[in-house]
Amino acid sequence: MCDAGRLASPRRLDTDLVAKAQRVAAQAHDLPELRMAQAVPLPGLAKLTLEQTAAVLGVGRATVARLQTRFRHPGERPPTCPRSALGGADAAPC
C-alpha cells in the first residue's frame, strides 16, 4: 500500500496554551518574548507550517520549535551535549 497520497493528521490545538500565548504576546516587553509567544498559536490558528511560521517570525524553522518548547516549559534548560574539540563527524554522539 502506498502512503504517498496521505496527508499528515491535523495538529491538536491546546486552547489553554494558545490563550496563554496570546496574553503573553499582548504584554511582551521585547522581541524575543513576542516571538516566543507568537510561535505557539500561529501554526494552529493560521494553519501555518513550521517553515511558514519561521518566515513570519523572521527566524529559522528549528528556532520555531525551540521557541515553542521554551514557551511550553519555561525555566527548564534543554539538555546539552558535551562539546568535542574535534566537532563534525568526529564528535562524540550525544
Which grid cell is 58?
A: 523572521
* Inside any domain, residue 46: yes
pLDDT in tens, 20-37: 999 999 999 999 899 999
Residues 46-70: what's their mean pLDDT? 91
What global pTM score does this model have?
Answer: 0.66
By CB atoms closer than 10 A (0-12, 13-18, 19+), residue 21 is buried
Count of domains forming the chain: 1
* Inside any domain, residue 30: yes
The per-residue pLDDT for 76 is 75
In whole angstroms, give the CA distance from residue 42 to residue 12: 13
Q: What is the phi-psi region of residue 58: left when phi exceeds 0, alpha when psi lies from -120 to 50, beta otherwise?
A: left
* Inside any domain, residue 9: no
In whole angstroms, give the CA distance from residue 47 to residue 43: 5
In this predicted model, which residue has the larger pLDDT, 90 or 69?
Answer: 69
